[in-house]
Chain A
Amino acid sequence: MTTSPKPQDAFVRLDNIVKSYGAYVALKGVSLEIAKGQSVALIGPSGSGKSTVLRCINTLEVIDSGAIFVGDLRMGMQATPRGLRQATAVEAARQRESVGMVFQSFNLFPHMTALENVASGPRLVKNVSKPQAQSQAMELLDRVKLGDKANAYPRQLSGGQQQRVAIARALAMQPSVMLFDEPTSALDPETVQEVLNVIREVRDSHMTMLIATHEMEFARHASDMTIFMEAGQIVESGPSAEVLGSPKTERCRRFLAGLTGVAAQPQARPA
């Protein structure tokens, strides 16, 4: 495997990623680059491999071949004097500190309040003192407009509120890149916008981010670049206005046409 230096502008780089589940090949050689501070949307039909790409980047999945770089980190690999080897569980955990992830189903810790959820990373990973972790967490909750829900448990929060807490929890680790896996797909239509607004705000803070989404309007307006995937491969990518406005490939065109056909559905609502 090569460890050739990354191009200056790529902060996140995937080199020819292959990932299979048993005999099923979910990613058939995916390569992409994201510059520092860039916001990239990942679109494509269900089962095309969007989640798999995100999960591979923060090594929730082990890839078959290829290489993933985030900043200086070679994800899932550890450099030793004798070369690269598979990272141990603890080494992989250390790498994940700089990669934030937001899940479709929020996955908040149900036994912790909103504040404790947000403070959990700094507390449990960085051993930040409780008062300091909680005041930082409070700032983040204010930032996602949930300061008044600090002491609520996840079950007492709406889906949109839970997702905003989940975003704050990921931000609390001060990651250098944020991954969003269909962050609004499990939400009631009324609460989609409040979450998108928070994500927009994260983007405006120049966070490097990759977001798998069915919200085409959001991709168009809030993402610098859009990548269209199908059947485990990247079919088309480029500036969002181009990919979403005048797609070059027939498959991307058909996919987008299919979506506008159900314009009344939540994922196609105007942002």
Chain B
Amino acid sequence: MAIWDWSVFFHDLVHPAILRGLWTTVWLTFVTLALAIVVGTAVALISRSRFAPAQWFYQGYVAFFRATPLLVQLVFLYSALPQMGIRLSVVEAAIIGLTLSESPYVAEIVRSAISAVPVAQWEAARAIGIRPLTAMRAIIFPQALRIAVPPMGNEFVRQLKNTSLVSVISMTELFRATDNLIQGSFRVLEALTVATIYYLLLTAAWTLLQQLVERRNGHWFADTSAPKAKVAAAKVEA
């Protein structure tokens, strides 16, 4: 057996099973990240409540999902819950696991983005008579969003890599599809190289897209910077 067989490599590169796995990886990443953004934002908003139990919930939520490995969460959802009478399909367990495990990271991004909006913006809103919830929705949140978008882009890459873990509960995404191919051909090097190339391509494509969006809309992201107040004149008398 040769060390490297190009024909195997090209065979694996366009193998229908690999392409199906690739597609699964892509949609699973997008869907679970989108869901994590919804859940994470909700959790971040809860954390802003002055109500003490809301604080405990937030701290506990973040600590729990950060402290437990995603692998364990997935196996728990898929294999341990049935013992409690809750039966999830592979896809359900994968979506729930990936969403919940990612949500605290989103929550932390949203939370720090909200507190990064200058207090003066709250005050300006209050001074006009804007109600607190409206101020959050119409004044603070749109500005926080602009701050949160760049770090959120990095979460995409993390989530992309995390999808490979759902292979353990037998969801056939890119990695498991690759593994299946290896079981038949015994050509590990070519197959894993193919998988690696696809992961790299997806990450590169995303990074490029993100750079493009940020460059095109650079002013949009820079928008939240405080007005360059020329305080010097006021301080002269001191």
Contacts and interface: CB of A to CB of B under 8 A. Distances in A.
Interface string A226-263: 00000000000000000000000000000000110010
B233 A110 contact: no
B131 interface: yes
Interface in A69-98: 89-90, 93-98
A110 B225 CA distance: 8
Interface in B204-233: 219, 222-231, 233
A159 B134 contact: no
A47 to B, nearest CB: 10
B203 to A, nearest CB: 30
Interface stretch (B4-12, B117-125, B151-159, B182-190): B117-125
Contact of B128 (A104, A110, A125, A162): A125
B14 interface: no
Interface string B129-153: 1111010001100110010000000
Interface in A162-220: 162, 169-170, 173, 182, 185-189, 214
A155 interface: yes
> How big is the B interface, by class?
20 to 34
Contacts of A259: 237
Interface of B: 120-121, 123-132, 134, 138-139, 142-143, 146, 219, 222-231, 233-234, 236-238
24 contacts: A89-B131, A90-B131, A93-B132, A99-B127, A100-B127, A104-B229, A105-B120, A106-B227, A107-B123, A108-B124, A109-B124, A109-B125, A111-B142, A120-B138, A124-B128, A124-B130, A125-B130, A155-B225, A159-B230, A182-B234, A187-B233, A189-B233, A259-B237, A266-B233
